[in-house]
Structure 1
Amino acid sequence: MALATPDLSGHTAFITGTTRGIGKRIALALAEAGCNVVSTGKTVDDSDSDLDGTIHETAAECEERGVDAHAIQLNLRDEEQVEAAAAEAIDVFGEVDIVINNASAIQMASVEELPANRFDLLTDVNIRGTYLTCRAFIPHLKEIGGGQILTNAPPVKMDRAPGEAAYAWSKMGMTFVTLSLASELRGTGISANSFWPVTAIDTRATRYFGMGTEDDWRSPVIVADTVLELLDRDEEFTGNAVYDEDVLREAGVTDFERYNCTEGDPTPLSAQLFDPDYERP
């Protein structure tokens, strides 16, 4: 059974990290569902980069799908930039009722090998960036009577992460902020949940850090479909940290082959990274 696409006409989403990979796929999926998109990230010119993609290209591709889009250059480590970006998005669209914390930095290394400034980067972009983005939109979401906050981060179930302590700490911190917000905002019409893929997703970071092979990966489409399903739920669904497969199974998806990069069932690398005891249903 295929996932039914919700009608997001009349909604506007502010998404961090839309230049490429998972963030771009989420932006395009929401646009295909009728949602206006605020495309944010650091890259506005890729002419001198080995990586393709800019926030403006993503915005343009969203508009090709029939919605309005707006690109804002954003450094999540800069509090003033985050607040200004939120204000600009609200000024352009009037209302922004979906906030998706997708952007994050990644660095896999042991404590001995990872310098303090890289630890600070992971903490600042991932945890602090999520905190700042949510905080910038909360007054607006309360004013318009509700909205949804989604964060690309895992369930908090591990007690150690050899070789990846700083990254794991920062990703779990994103979830902790999100779930704490869910409790703080209960009754306001604002929901807050986090989502995470069971398997590693085929992105530049996955390839760069050697997280398995193509046999272990899935397309970013599975994460985008998970976001669509979560956005189709009402405000009572809040305070959850969920895996993509679990969400999609609940929505009636039984065939996951179309998400795989190769034939066969991928190893649940991403879930195991944060939950060594994870077993597929």
Structure 2
Amino acid sequence: MSFQLPDLTGRTAFVTGTTRGIGKRIALTLAEAGCNVVSTGKTVDDSESDLEGTIHDTAAACEERGVDAHAIQLNLRSPEEIEAAAEEAIEVFGEVDVVINNASAIQLANVADLPADRFDLLNEVNVRGTYLTIRAFLPHLKEHGGHVLTNAPPVTMDRAPGKAAYAWSKLGMTFVTLSVAAELRGTGVAANCFWPVTIIDTRASRYFGMGTEDDWRTPDIAADAACELLDREPDFSGHTLYDEAILREAGVTDFSPYNVTDGDPQPLSAQLFDPEYERP
């Protein structure tokens, strides 16, 4: 059985990092489910870049799927821009009931090879950016209810050779989200984290040589998992979940449409962040 998109008509999602990759796919899948989308990120002009895609391209593609969309340029290292983006999104749509922390910086390196400024960048974008984005929407979410989703792994690692700074920042995103879930329990606001079992085929996974195509799945699996979580009641909160587990609970038995090549990819992403992970 394949995944059936829930009906998210009438809802509005603020998504970070929608220029390309997982963030763009999440935005488009939300639109296909009927959810309005606020497309955010740094890229508004790709004319002088080797990488195609802008936040405006993603917003336009969402609108082609029959929903309303709005693009806001956003640097997650700027508290002022985050606050302004939240205010603009609420002003445009009246209500924003979904906040998805997808954007994050990545650099994989040994401690000896990663200088302080790169460590700071990873933590400013990933942990601090997630913290400030959630915080900017908290008053609105408390009033209207809704969901916070963060693309981050379970907090299970005790070491991360070759990726200490990146892993620390991603686990920080999880810690912030779970803390918010506990703070908001019973208020009608859910906060959960989702994470891929396998490496996802993105520019980053190719650039850093994270396995091969046989090890990858497409961003569609992360997007479908996010949509499934948004279809759950707000009392389902405070969880860190792998995409496979989320979709299995939704009745998915055939994961082959998500695979980049034939065959079932190894659970590399889960193993990186959960040494004891075993696929069901």
TM-score, normalising length from structure 2?
0.99
Structure 1 residue 236, shift from structure 2 partner? 1.2
Name the counterpart of 2:168.
169
Q: Counterparts in 2 of 1:70-109, with a 5 A limit?
A: 70-109=70-109
Instruction: Name the CA distance, whole Å, in 1 between partners of 2:227 and 2:142.
Output: 22
State the SS of the aligned residue for 1:271.
helix
User: How far apart, in 2, do the equivalents of 1:5 and 1:263 lie?
Assistant: 24
Query: Partners in 2 of 1:266 and 1:200 — Cα distance?
Result: 9
Shift of 1:276: 1.5
Aligned to 1:208: 207
CA distance in 2, matches of 1:247, 1:127: 24
| In structure 1, distance between residues paired with 2:252 and 2:186 | 31
Cα distance in 1, alignment partners of residues 4 and 220 from structure 2: 14
- Residue 118 of structure 1 corresponds to 118
- Report how far residue 187 of structure 1 moved: 1.0
Whether 2:248 is the aligned partner of 1:249: answer yes
CA distances 1:111-144 after superposition (whole Å, capped 9, x unpaired):
0000000000000000000000000000001122
| Aligned residues: CA RMSD | 0.5
Offset from partner CA, 1:90-125 (integer Å, 9 cap, x none): 000000000000000000001000000000000000
Please list, as runs of the form range in 1=range in 2, the aligned pairs for 1:229-248 lying within 5 A after superposition. Answer: 229-248=228-247
Query: Which piece of structure 1 moves more, 119-128 or 260-269?
Result: 260-269
Letter in 1 for 2:259: N
Deviations 1:18-77, CA, capped at 9 Å, x for gaps: 000000000000000110000000000001111110000000000000000000000000
Alpha-carbon distance between aligned partners in 2 of 1:186 and 1:236, rounded to the nearest angstrom: 7
CA contact (8 A) 2:2 2:255 kept: no
2:172 corresponds to which letter in structure 1?
G
Residue 188 of structure 1 and its aligned partner are, at CA, apart by 0.7
Q: Distance in 1 between matches of 2:185 and 2:136?
A: 18
Percent of paired sites with the same residue: 77
Q: Distance in 2 between matches of 1:183 and 1:53?
A: 37
Amino acid at match of 2:206: R
Query: Using the alignment, how far apart are the partners of 1:98 and 1:67 within structure 2?
Result: 15
Residue type at the aligned position of 1:248: L
**Structure 1 residue matching 2:117: 3-state secondary structure:** helix
Aligned residue number for residue 262 of structure 1:
261
Q: Distance in 1 between matches of 2:189 and 2:87?
A: 19
Could you say which residue in structure 2 is the equivalent of 1:277? Answer: 276
**Is the partner of 2:147 in helix, strand or coil?**
strand
1:47 corresponds in structure 2 to 47
List gaps (5 residues or longer) in structure 2: none
2:3 maps to: 3
What does residue range 172-211 of structure 1 map to in structure 2 within 5 Å? 172-211=171-210
Q: How far apart are the structure 1 equivalents of 2:184 and 2:274?
A: 27
SS of the aligned residue for 2:113 comes to coil
Shift of 1:81: 0.2
SS in 1 for 2:150: strand
- Structure 2 CA distance, aligned partners of 1:201 and 1:97? 27
The amino acid across from 1:233 in the alignment is R
SS of match in other structure, 1:112: helix
**1:130 corresponds to:** 130
Give me the TM-score of the superposition, normalised by structure 1. 0.99
Give the Cα separation in 1 of the matches to 2:213 and 2:143: 45
> How many Å separate the matches in 1 of 2:213 and 2:92?
41
Return the letter of the residue paired with 1:61.
A
* Runs of 4+ more than 2 Å apart: none
Q: Give, as a single letter, the amino acid of the residue that structure 1 aligns with 2:85.
A: A
Corresponding residue for residue 142 of structure 1: 142
Cα drift, residue 4 of structure 1: 1.9
